[in-house]
Amino acid sequence: MTQNRRVHRLRSASPAVLPSLLMCDFGNLERELMRLEGAGVEALHLDVMDGSFVPNLTYGFPIIEALRRLTDLPLDVHLMIDHPERYINHFAHAGADLITIHVEATEQPGEVLNQIRSLGLGSGLALNPDTPLTRIERFLDQCDLVLVMSVNAGFGGQKFNTIALEKLRRLNEIRPAGMMLEVDGGVNSSTIASCAAAGADLFVVGSAIFGQDNYTAAVHGLNELLQTA
C-alpha cells in the first residue's frame, strides 16, 4: 500500500464524505475551500474530463495546482480521460495525492497503476456500471482504491444504479487489506447509508453539499447517516 502521508490520512479518516468540486463556484475557489474545510471534510474529489472518454470537458492541471497551494487536504483526482498514462506525471507534479484511472480508458491498467505508485501516489482504478468486476479483479493488489461508479462517468442527472451496491459488497469480500472502496454518482441522503452498508469507505458527493446553503449542516447530516448505517 502507498505510504503517501495524505493518502494514509484519508485511509485513517474513512468513512468520509468527499465533496466533488465539479459543482463548486470556481469564481470563488478560495472561499469555497474555506467553507468546505470549515465543514470538516477530509479530502477533495476532483473530476477531470477530456471530452473524449466522456463527452464533457472540465478542468486540468491549473485548478489542481491552485488547490494544492490553498490546502493541505488530500486531493483525490479522478481521471475520466483516454490514455491516462500520458498525463500521470503532470498530475503528480500539479499536486495530486491519489490518482484514479478508468479500466475502460487504457489497454494497460496494471502498468498505469504501477506508474502512479512509482511516483509515491495512491493508485485508484474506476469502473462504470456496465463494466463487470472481472475486468479489474486481477489488478486489486496494485490498487490503493477502487472507485465504483453508480452512474456512467461524465453524464449528469442520472439515477443511482443499484448495481454499484452489488459490486461494493463483492469487493468488500475480496479486497486486499488497506484498499479503500469509493462510490461516486447520485450519492446523497437517500443512498449514502446503503453504500456504507455495502462496504464503501469514501463517498463522493456533489449537489447534496453544493446544492445546499449550509455546507457544514449538509456534511454533518451525511456523516450522521454514515454513523448509523
Determine phi and psi for 78, rounding to 5 degrees.
-105, 110
Q: In the chain, what is the greatest distance between 2 CA atoms, to the nearest angstrom?
A: 43
Cis peptide preceding 15, ω within 30 of 0: yes
DSSP 8-state secondary structure symbol assigned to residue 57: B
| 184 counts as catalytic | yes
Distance CA(120)–CA(190), nearest Å, equals 36
Catalytic residue among 144, 184, 201, 213: 184
Q: Please, where are the H alpha helices in 41-191?
A: 61-70, 88-94, 109-118, 163-174
Cis peptide preceding 129, ω within 30 of 0: no
Catalytic residue among 47, 50, 76, 144: 47
**Residue 177 burial (C-beta neighbours within 10 Å; 0-12, 13-18, 19+):** exposed
Distance CA(88)–CA(207), nearest Å, equals 28
3-state SS, residue 52: coil
| 130 counts as catalytic | no
State how far Cα 108 lies from the chain centre.
Answer: 21
Distance CA(70)–CA(189), nearest Å, equals 29
Other residues' Cβ atoms within 10 Å of the Cβ of residue 35? 20
**Residues catalogued as catalytic:** 47, 184
